[in-house]
């Protein structure tokens, strides 16, 4: 495999990125420690269990004694003057998590894991959602750069981006944060902006 690996081919850099991130993630197993949906990620994510499991966007279900344990999972949401709990972030990241949340829900249902939005399948899904969006961002970046540079320069740029910045951190230890999604959105926005200026349609 290594003999066939061509570092001047941009898609090979993407393949290498996937292999490295998957290998490290499966050795870290953050989802088994329930360490993925935590802190900022818990803020972004909290819309999903509120809507799909508790059917209560005001989060009043947190006031019920049987749900006291959820306060910590929801990262102690602050209260508004009217007594309602307030989401600490907007729902943008929850929208990007949604396909992975749905997949985790059905998988958890099949294997008998708790359907609470925080069991292992959900942690796993959010962990790997970052890799999905980052790879999609790399594909858009390649398409954008091919209008201006040869593949060898693109591969070098991707290598520096992946292995010379904090990108890997946000695919492994900080997976679930907004950085990979932002990268995907900016890459696709730049690509389609240039296409629009070229075509004018």
113-130 pLDDT tens trace: 999 999 999 999 999 999
Inter-residue contact 20 to 168 (CB < 8 Å): yes
Residue reference for tokens 């925080």: 118
Q: pTM higher than 0.95 for the full model?
A: no
Q: What is the pLDDT of residues 26-53, one digit of tens each?
A: 998 998 999 999 999 999 999 999 999 9
**What does the pLDDT average to over 135-146?**
96
Q: What is the pLDDT of residues 65-105, one digit of tens each?
A: 988 888 888 888 998 898 889 999 999 999 999 999 999 99
Inter-residue contact 73 to 114 (CB < 8 Å): no
- Predicted confidence at residue 123, as pLDDT, reads 97
Per-position b or e across 7-43, b if 16+ CB within 10 A of its CB: eeebebbbebbbeebeeebeeeebbeeebbbbeebbb
Residue 5: pLDDT band (50, 70, 90) is low
| Residue 43, token pair as written in the block | 């803020």
For 134, list phi and psi in degrees, rounded to 5: -65, -45
Nearest to 86 by CA among 65, 57, 111, 61: 57
CB atoms within 10 A of CB 163: 13
The per-residue pLDDT of the chain, averaged, comes to 93
- Predicted confidence at residue 189, as pLDDT, reads 98
Q: Which residues contact 173 (CB under 8 A, 6 or more apart)?
A: 28, 30
Residue 2: pLDDT band (50, 70, 90) is very low
- Predicted confidence at residue 127, as pLDDT, reads 97
Tell me how far apart the alpha carbons of residues 73 and 50 are, in angstroms, rounded to a whole number. Answer: 12
- Please give the C-alpha separations between residue 181 and each of 94, 132, 156, in angstroms, as whole numbers: 11, 9, 22
| Residue 135, token pair as written in the block | 């790879």
Please tell me what DSSP assigns to residue 58.
T
- Predicted confidence at residue 201, as pLDDT, reads 75
| Residue 31, token pair as written in the block | 């989802």
- Predicted confidence at residue 1, as pLDDT, reads 47
| Residue 48, token pair as written in the block | 């999903």
- Predicted confidence at residue 48, as pLDDT, reads 97
- Predicted confidence at residue 68, as pLDDT, reads 86
179 vs 84: which has the higher pLDDT: 179
């Amino acid at each position: 495999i290594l003999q066939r690996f061509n570092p001047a081919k941009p898609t090979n850099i993407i393949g290498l990125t996937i292999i490295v991130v998957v290998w490290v993630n499966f050795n870290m197993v953050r989802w088994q420690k329930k360490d993925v949906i935590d802190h900022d990620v818990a803020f972004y994510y909290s819309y999903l269990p509120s809507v799909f499991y508790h059917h209560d966007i005001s989060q009043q279900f947190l006031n019920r004694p049987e749900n006291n344990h959820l306060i910590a999972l929801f990262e102690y949401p602050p209260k508004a003057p009217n007594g309602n709990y307030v989401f600490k972030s907007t729902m943008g990241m929850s929208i990007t998590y949604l396909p992975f949340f749905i997949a985790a829900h059905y998988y958890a249902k099949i294997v008998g894991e708790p359907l609470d939005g925080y069991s292992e399948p959900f942690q796993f899904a959010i962990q790997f959602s970052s890799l999905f969006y980052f790879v999609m961002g790399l594909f858009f970046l390649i398409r954008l750069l091919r209008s201006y540079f040869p593949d060898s320069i693109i591969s070098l740029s991707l290598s520096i981006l992946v292995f010379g910045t904090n990108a890997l951190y946000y695919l492994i230890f900080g997976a679930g944060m907004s950085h990979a999604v932002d990268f995907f959105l900016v890459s696709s926005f730049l690509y389609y902006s240039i296409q629009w200026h070229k075509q004018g349609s």
